Amino acid sequence: MAAVEVVGYEDVRLTDTASVLARAFATDPVFSWLTSHLGSAGRMTALHEIMETLTRAIYAPHGESYLALPEGAKAAQTDIKLKGVLLLHPPLVKESFVDHMKHGIHRLPVITGLKGMGKILPSLLRSSLLKEVVMDDLLERGFWYVGFLAVDPDCQGQGVGSVLLQSVVDKADKEDLPVYLETGNPRNVPWYEKFGFATVYTEKAGFMGPTVFYMRREVQSMDKQTKEQLLAKAKQRVADSNESLKRGLLAVGIGFVVLVLLLFYVYH
């Protein structure tokens, strides 16, 4: 088994955390797609740098990094190998683009190249939008967001992931708060469901990318009917949002065609 320690920004062991994330997500459908243009030689290096950048810029500053270590070990013992990591975004903490830039998010284009950013940027923007839609009923109250959960490949099958995720759901239950996450690996969905998560929506990442599952876990003190009603409302919000997006894109498309026709008429 493993012991879990919650650490702040100064103790996150950035390089070790990024290494676990890169190794664990090396075969993840979404990250394989995002880095496929780099070839096998450059993928792992890029994955490590991507994970280090995202950890430093988005998750570590909030002091909610969970490190899984061997029983009796402490995060400060840097010679002890990490078994797994869980990066969280706390409730009601506003994300600031300026803060992200200050912590190095601007390095992503350098790491992935323009082709990679053509995949990553739209995916990040779409993911952020869907998170707001799916959890719209809880924006004022707050919720826990699981950014990354990873177990080192050498330690998989030992219950490390369950220990990490249980730490979060226990915390959420104590605070009567829901939890939100996304996963691009369909094999993980049944596992998350065992912890009370339900899929709100599925959508392909970017253009022709793999399917991403958007999941939420309701406050467990609620009765089953209330949970089902909240899930249904979240699904309806996503459907309404998608319909509005389609209408907006259609309007933009029509406007563009009209503009082209006008220009053609004026200059011919």
Please check whether residue 142 is in contact with residue 177, taking contact to mean a CB–CB distance below 8 angstroms.
yes
82 vs 245, more confident: 82
Strands 179-183 and 197-204, how do they pair?
unpaired
User: What backbone torsions phi and psi does residue 162 show, to the nearest 5 degrees?
Assistant: -65, -40
Read off the pLDDT of each residue in 188-215 and give the average, rounded to a whole number.
88
User: Would you kindly state where each structural domain of the chain is located, as residue ranges?
Assistant: 3-266
- Band of residue 37 on the pLDDT scale cut at 50, 70, 90: confident
Residue 202: CB partners within 8 Å, gap ≥ 6? 211, 212, 213, 214
Cα–Cα dist 127/129, whole Å: 5
* pLDDT for residue 251: 58
Contacts 24+ apart (CB under 8 A), 205-208: 205/30, 205/33, 205/119, 205/123, 205/126, 206/33, 206/119, 206/122, 206/123, 206/126
- Band of residue 197 on the pLDDT scale cut at 50, 70, 90: very high
237 vs 50, more confident: 50
Query: Is pLDDT at 81 greater than 90 in this prediction?
Result: no
- Band of residue 205 on the pLDDT scale cut at 50, 70, 90: confident
In percent, the amount of the chain with pLDDT more than 90 equals 23
The superfamily (CATH) of domain 3-266 is Gcn5-related N-acetyltransferase (GNAT) (3.40.630.30)
Closest by Cα among 83, 267, 103 to 158: 83
Mean pLDDT (the chain) is: 79
Cα–Cα dist 36/39, whole Å: 6
Read off the pLDDT of each residue in 151-167 and give the average, rounded to a whole number.
91
* pLDDT for residue 153: 93
- Please give the single-letter amino acid code of residue 200: V
* pLDDT for residue 150: 93
Query: Is pLDDT at 263 greater than 70 in this prediction?
Result: no
- Band of residue 143 on the pLDDT scale cut at 50, 70, 90: confident
Cα–Cα dist 117/251, whole Å: 27
79 vs 123, more confident: 79
